Amino acid sequence: MVVSADISCSCRTKPPTPRGPRMHYGTFVTRHATRFPARVALVDDDHSLTYAELDDRTNRLAHAFHDLGLASGDRVALMTDNRLECVEVMVAASKAGLVFVPLDFRLDDAAALHLLRHSQAKAVVVGASHADQAEGLGREETAVESWVFLDGTGSGLDYEKLLARAAPGPLEPSVDDDAGFCILYTSGTTGVPKGVFFTHQQTMDNAMAVMKDFEVGADTRYLVSYPHNSAGSVNHVFGPVLMAGGRLVLGDVRGFEAERFFATVERERITHAQLVPTMLFRLLASDADHDLSSLTTVGYASAPIPAPRVKEMLERFGPIFLQAYGMTETCSFATVLTKADHEAVGTDREGVLASCGRATYGVEVLVVDEDDRPVPPGTPGEVIMRGRWLSRSYWDDPELTAETNRGGWLHSGDVGRMDEEGYLYLVDRKKDLLIIGGANIASKEIEDVLYELPGVLEAAVIGVPDEEWGERPHAVLTPHPGQEITPAEVE
Distance CA 336, CA 424 (A): 9
pLDDT at 301 over 70: yes
Q: What is the mean pLDDT of residues 31-48?
A: 96
pTM: 0.86
- The model's pLDDT over 132-142, given as tens digits with 9 standing for 90+, comes to 999 999 999 99
- Rounded CA-CA distance 179/198 in Å is 8
Average pLDDT for 167-192: 80
Between CA 117 and CA 114 the distance in angstroms is: 5
Backbone phi, psi, residue 232, to 5°: -65, -20
> Residue 153: what pLDDT?
84
Structural domains in the chain, CATH included, are 255-432 (3.40.50.12780), 434-490 (3.30.300.30)
CA distance 230 to 58: 21
HSE-CB for 420 with a 13 A CA cutoff: 0
The H or E element containing residue 242 is: helix 239-244
pLDDT above 50 for 429:
yes
Q: Is 116 exposed, middle or buried (0-12, 13-18, 19+ CB in 10 A)?
A: buried
Condensed to tens digits (0 to 9), the pLDDT of residues 76-89 reads 999 999 999 999 99
**Residues making up the chain, counted from first to last:** 491
Largest CA distance in the chain: 99
Mean pLDDT of 480-485: 83
Band (449; pLDDT cuts 50, 70, 90): confident
Distance from C-alpha of 340 to C-alpha of 327, rounded to nearest angstrom: 23
Mean residue pLDDT across the chain: 90
Q: What is the pLDDT of residue 317?
A: 96
Looking at per-residue pLDDT, the higher value among 254 and 465 belongs to: 254
Indicate the residue type of 444: K
Cα 413 from chain centre: 18
> What pLDDT does residue 305 have?
85
- For 399, the 3-state DSSP assignment is helix
Q: Name the packing angle between helices 200-213 and 25-35 (round to 10°).
A: 60
Query: Could you give the CA distance from residue 250 to residue 102 in angstroms, rounded to a whole number?
Result: 15
What is the structure's pLDDT at 466? 67
Q: What is the mean pLDDT of residues 172-190?
A: 78
CA distance 285 to 456: 11
> What pLDDT does 173 receive?
62
User: Which runs of consecutive H residues, i.e. helices, occur in 68-158?
Assistant: 85-96, 109-119, 131-137
Query: CA 13 from chain center: how many Å?
Result: 43
Q: What's the CA dihedral at 434, 385, 359, 306 to 10 degrees?
A: 10
DSSP string over 31-45: HHHHH-TTSEEEE-S
Query: Once rounded to an integer, what is the mean pLDDT over residues 96-106?
Result: 96
Question: Residues 83-103, buried b or exposed e (16+ Cβ, 10 A)?
Answer: bbbbbbbbbbbbbbbbbbbbb
3-state secondary structure of 474: strand
Rg (CA), the chain: 24
Task: Determine the Cα angle at 356 with ends 354 and 362, to 5°.
Answer: 155
Does residue 213 have a pLDDT over 60?
yes
d(CA 394, CA 463): 30
Distance CA 85, CA 57 (A): 10
Question: Is the CB of residue 228 less than 8 Å from the CB of residue 183?
Answer: no
Sequence-distant (6+) residues with CB within 8 A of 374 are 366, 367, 368
Q: How many CB atoms lie within 10 A of CB 170?
A: 15
For residue 310, what are the contacts with CB-CB under 8 A and spacing of at least 6? Answer: 321, 342, 345, 353
Instruction: Give the torsion through C-alpha atoms of 327, 85, 265, 219, to 10 deg.
Output: -80
Do residues 391 and 202 touch, judged by C-beta distance below 8 A?
A: yes
- CA dist 34 and 31 (Å) reads 5
